[in-house]
A and B are shown apart, each in its own frame.
Chain A
């Protein structure tokens, strides 16, 4: 089985914290872009490839017309063997959808929608330079529900400028009372060269309004608890779902399964290689979808990747599967290393099963997962 990722690199406005590839598009480009994208998918046509997840990410896919998105999805279906019960997701910004456009998306074949809501506080939303307010977000979710979507996801952000624990709890309360079945919760990170980064460099006082590491951790733990109370179970560092509503496409990433990406900067993992389409929007259009491929890893170290990725998941790591990938036995001591780390730490960071064959990180372990994982790799 394989996943398909479609990257739509357009936004109405760039958010101050975002460093993903997207441009504030000139909507005249959209038509040419869709043609180029369709072309690039067709060039890869292979009906032997079975697909059970399709994900339209961005940018903001919904800056395109629903009909354009449906057309692209149709191309995907024509080029690959997409199973009838495939999970087909589109990301959306609350202010780029209407009742009609959501209806069209649902009819066009999309069955999962992910809204970048971020917060239920309008002050926090404007501090992030988001275009929507909470009322619009709420309306978008309700419209999606009435269009037929039963699998709706919302993003929540922790550590937003001027956020307090109370306002975070309030956002969680409000957003989980909407008909959503999945929550992605991210901690705000100041990435280099983003507008937020530049603002802070000009005025370091801004940093004071962003949660520091300790506060961020406390809010994260608070959020895990509140979401659990609402029936959202954590299945990945930043992802929570009602039972059976986990994002199958995202799980694919953490389970080291294959996916093909289309569009500028879209990443793929296929046939043991990791690569991405190395071009910007205008190059992509000019080349009519035949963009240059940049390899990031042509000889994937499957054992190492399995450790790195599986430990992001609540389901964790299975030492038998690791052993089957780790021919040289580099990580045969992983369980005793894990015990050693638990012994050092003041609180348990790693759950180790009775028979020692299964490892997963605790909530606190997730919070320091980079350090824990790099220690396990050494």
Chain B
């Protein structure tokens, strides 16, 4: 395969602008998938991805395309996630490509997240090929979408292919433009091996499979390879490329190609996404530039409902971290919840997805505590602490200065919602920076917001106030001093450590009240009255009461049929398993989650 006939590219799009559909059409057109294997949205092969209509994990596939001039080309299409939480994944995909197709919805134009990813692509020196999708919609306005791309991003777009991925219109034009607009990869097949790991997963039989983009040199079966960062060495057992539905062994991969390596790698810690693979015999001098390491922004405790499943949870987290390097975790203990892990996430969606994957793919029942950001606390003795778990928040008397992280947020929305958005941002302690009209109907707002105000439910609140039209993106700006307090929740007079959180003083009362109300709804009546209290220091600021249970009785046992009675007791036994015993109070798992969703 000549390098001139290879194209490595990814697709950038806002959620729902049709990236996965376009990918499906490309797969069809390149006959990479037999129709019988064709499932809707092939690249999104996790259940969660299909259900939520989003891509979480990067994935790659090799396609063969015969162009109009009769040449045979190899396309490596690398999928990228669209959500802001997964910028890290995007960055991994981009590093393996020379170009990116930018999909823009002809009826909606550019959204904030697309913008962020496109800038990321430009930073990586990728050629960006704009495509205007959904021209079949009655509300489509391809011309203004093109103009917007030129104005906002600053790349030529007037000749962008106008397509409908759904209807299959003009897809071939996109493929032809991939050939003409996106450069072929460069590299020297005879140079020392340099390959970038951009993804990996664990296969039960073959061990860790790593996905690589060979930048320099040639990778062969049987060769001894070395991971630059970890120093681990392996002998390659299988090398090949990613077919649309399965891995296809090819024996070797040359510079410019994208493929996989199986090398009986057992320890998932040995292969880090972003690391460089080189040869043991003839190593390269310098590693490739890895990706920008992203730091978790949101922390939460994850605990198995059944304490005995703690080792299973650890194994599952280790396996997930293998192909999600942005996930971090370390053991922690809670008085209320027992042994678990403090996990770091890129954002709230990331957290939800991880929790859901743990539950579905690893069959675990979990309790997730309220997300927390990292607070910076300067003590009166000059020590500086970073607190990611509210339980560890120091005594206020010892704190000289408390700071919280703030983000710089961009919100794009139709201009009619400006009032609603400003109200929301105001309510979330936002500082207005500026506002720009992109055209007559669309506006971009710029705010600085405390991260702790957006980790809970900001995105949901924003969507509901803009009938789903707003898009939102943010990046870390730094720390700012803030009046923070630790709010404790007491059940039957005892503090439940897993429910404590840190909050701005001005919001403590309202938040405390709301949480008590929510808990009252979720905690079932017990044999005794359960007071639910919110407290700052020793001072109670809110109280609700779960009244004592009055009635739980099977009045009639008829004709000697005691099966009902037994079934009922069985059911109660089952129900009890789903409860957490906190002191004398039985608390359902949902109680821990319900405090996350206070806006409902």
Please list the residues of chain A having a beta carbon within 8 angstroms of any beta carbon in chain B: 3, 5, 7, 20, 55, 57, 186-187, 189, 213-214, 216-217, 220, 237-238, 252-253, 259, 261, 266-269, 274, 276, 296-297, 305, 308-309, 312, 341, 344-347, 349, 366-375, 377-378
Residues from chain B with a CB closer than 8 A to the CB of A268 are 560
Q: Is B565 an interface residue (CB 8 A)?
A: yes
A252–B549 Cα distance when bound, in Å, is 30
Q: CB < 8 Å: which of A237, A253, A372 contacts B555?
A: A237
Q: Is B395 an interface residue (CB 8 A)?
A: no
Known A-B contacts A345-B527, A346-B529; A369 and B559 likewise in contact (beta carbons under 8 Å): no
Known A-B contacts A261-B560, A377-B569; A368 and B527 likewise in contact (beta carbons under 8 Å): yes
Residues from chain A with a CB closer than 8 A to the CB of B557 are 253, 312
Q: What are the 5 A-B residue pairs with the smallest beta carbon separation, nearest first?
A: A217-B550, A213-B551, A374-B572, A370-B552, A267-B561
Most A-side CB within 10 Å, residue of B529, B554, B560, B568? B560
What size tier do the contact residues of chain B reach?
20 to 34
A7 touches B550 (CB 8 A): no
A349–B547 Cα distance when bound, in Å, is 16
Q: Is B548 an interface residue (CB 8 A)?
A: yes
Residues from chain B with a CB closer than 8 A to the CB of A345 are 527-528, 548
Residues from chain A with a CB closer than 8 A to the CB of B565 are 308
B556 touches A370 (CB 8 A): no
Main secondary structure of the interface of A (DSSP, over half): mixed
A261 touches B559 (CB 8 A): yes
B527 touches A372 (CB 8 A): yes
Known A-B contacts A345-B527, A374-B572, A378-B576; A368 and B561 likewise in contact (beta carbons under 8 Å): no
How far apart are B98's CB and chain A's nearest CB, in angstroms?
61
A305–B547 Cα distance when bound, in Å, is 30
Known A-B contacts A261-B560, A269-B560, A309-B562; A346 and B528 likewise in contact (beta carbons under 8 Å): yes
B555 touches A189 (CB 8 A): yes
Residues from chain B with a CB closer than 8 A to the CB of A186 are 555-556
Residues from chain A with a CB closer than 8 A to the CB of B547 are 214
How far apart are A49's CB and chain B's nearest CB, in angstroms?
16
Q: CB < 8 Å: which of B552, B563, B566, B584 contacts A371?
A: B552
A370 touches B559 (CB 8 A): no
B555 touches A370 (CB 8 A): no
Q: Is B553 an interface residue (CB 8 A)?
A: yes
Residues from chain B with a CB closer than 8 A to the CB of A276 are 561
Q: Is B68 an interface residue (CB 8 A)?
A: no
Q: Is B558 an interface residue (CB 8 A)?
A: yes
Which chain B residue has the least Cβ–Cβ distance from A184?
B556
Q: Is B2 an interface residue (CB 8 A)?
A: no
A344 touches B527 (CB 8 A): yes
Most B-side CB within 10 Å, residue of A213, A259, A375? A213
How far apart are B8's CB and chain A's nearest CB, in angstroms?
58
B527 touches A371 (CB 8 A): yes
Residues from chain A with a CB closer than 8 A to the CB of B549 are 368, 371
The 8 A CB mask of B532-557 against A (1 = contact, 0 = none) is 00000000000000011111111111
Residues from chain A with a CB closer than 8 A to the CB of B293 are none
B551 touches A238 (CB 8 A): no
A296 touches B555 (CB 8 A): no
B550 touches A368 (CB 8 A): yes
Which chain B residue has the least Cβ–Cβ distance from A260?
B560
Which chain A residue has the least Cβ–Cβ distance from B572?
A374
A349–B573 Cα distance when bound, in Å, is 20
Which chain A residue has the least Cβ–Cβ distance from B568?
A370
A88–B557 Cα distance when bound, in Å, is 19
A312–B554 Cα distance when bound, in Å, is 10
Residues from chain A with a CB closer than 8 A to the CB of B529 are 346
Known A-B contacts A368-B549, A369-B552; A57 and B559 likewise in contact (beta carbons under 8 Å): yes
Subset of 27 A-B contacts with CB under 8 Å = A5-B560, A20-B559, A187-B551, A189-B556, A213-B550, A213-B551, A214-B550, A217-B551, A238-B555, A252-B560, A253-B562, A267-B561, A274-B562, A308-B569, A309-B562, A346-B528, A346-B529, A346-B548, A367-B550, A368-B552, A369-B552, A369-B553, A370-B553, A370-B572, A371-B552, A378-B573, A378-B576
A325–B559 Cα distance when bound, in Å, is 24
Q: CB < 8 Å: which of A214, A253, A367 contacts B560?
A: A253
A187–B552 Cα distance when bound, in Å, is 11
Residues from chain B with a CB closer than 8 A to the CB of A349 are 527
Residues from chain A with a CB closer than 8 A to the CB of B569 are 308, 370, 373-374, 377
